[in-house]
Amino acid sequence: VAPNAQLMEIRVLMSFGAGWTSMIVNGMIYASIYGPDWIPFSGDEADIISMSLGGLEEYNDGTEDLENFYVNYLTEMTGVVFSIAAGNDGPSMNSVGSPGDSDYAITVGAYAEGERFELEFAGYENISDGIADFSSRGPRMDGMLDPDVIAPGVYILSSLPLWYAYAAYWSGTSMATPHVAGAAALLISYAKQHDLSYDPFKIKEAFELSAKKIDGIPNYEQGFGLIQVDKAIEKIKELSDEQTTL
């Protein structure tokens, strides 16, 4: 999605996919404040943090977990953009978990392209585009909208650990989230090259205001809709002259 982007790979869970909240929070702090040289704010910190993890709590209003606090705090403090998976607890409503339901995160649901399904399974035709059945839906417990946007998340060619396979086609909001992270990298790169004023809130708003609505899908399933990078770039140009208000 973003050619020549530099990756900072941080492991915050154990090999079987579980871990402590402190491990995740420490990874967020390391990426946004320290970076590889372990010197705070020296310039090698992450511009974007992509998180394909989370858990669904009994009460999900965006404040239910320590991870939610740190997503919001680090966004405001450091200017890092969080792209976080909505989760795979759909199709039930009110199923977006933490930290994806944080106020300042770009919460990402999974878009299912009918053409991909037809290519994967021979014999099926005229499959309509829509939201993947597993993709977590909103709204949050307090009524706020989630997910914010959707991105391709069904039958996506993904790299895998060498002990598993070199690559394979996988589905999940974990596949959709890196699409948005890469798209955010393109927006930030464009803004830097053209001396545009930007921050995490303008990046998120640019995606939301330029997204494409999928006909027949309610807002609590798709948020603002499918991201469109070219139109988001045009939108960040407009938002550059506006003042960010929280």
**What number is the average pLDDT over the span 142-163?**
89
Distance CA 91, CA 66 (A): 26
For residue 85, the surrounding DSSP H or E stretch is strand 81-85
What band does 16 get if pLDDT is binned at 50, 70 and 90?
Answer: confident
Q: What pLDDT does residue 238 have?
A: 95
Alpha helices in the chain (DSSP H): 21-29, 66-78, 114-120, 173-193, 200-210, 219-222, 229-239
Q: What pLDDT does residue 245 have?
A: 63
Residue type, 186: L
Residue from 43, 107, 78, 79 nearest 198 by CA: 79
Residue from 107, 104, 141 nearest 211 by CA: 107
Round to the nearest angstrom and report the end-to-end CA distance of the chain.
29
Most confident of 114-123, 163-172, 214-223: 214-223
Q: What pLDDT does residue 109 have?
A: 97
Residue owning tokens 């998976």: 85
Condensed to tens digits (0 to 9), the pLDDT of residues 185-220 reads 999 999 999 999 999 999 999 999 999 999 999 999
Condensed to tens digits (0 to 9), the pLDDT of residues 58-102 reads 789 999 999 999 999 999 999 999 999 999 999 999 999 999 999
**What number is the average pLDDT over the span 6-34?**
92
What band does 1 get if pLDDT is binned at 50, 70 and 90?
Answer: confident
**What number is the average pLDDT over the span 146-169?**
85
Q: Does residue 124 register a pLDDT over 90?
A: no
Distance CA 208, CA 187 (A): 13
Q: Which of 45-59, 110-124, 137-151 has the lowest mean pLDDT?
A: 110-124
Q: Which of 154-163, 168-177, 215-224 has the lowest mean pLDDT?
A: 154-163
Confirm whether pTM is higher than 0.75: yes
Residue from 150, 152, 151, 127 nearest 138 by CA: 150
Distance CA 93, CA 136 (A): 7
The two structure tokens encoding residue 76: 């405001």
Could you tell me which residues come within 8 angstroms of residue 24 by beta carbon, excluding any fewer than 6 positions away? 12, 13, 51, 53, 67, 99
**What number is the average pLDDT over the span 16-20?**
84
Give CA 62 to chain center in angstroms. 15
Q: What pLDDT does residue 132 have?
A: 94
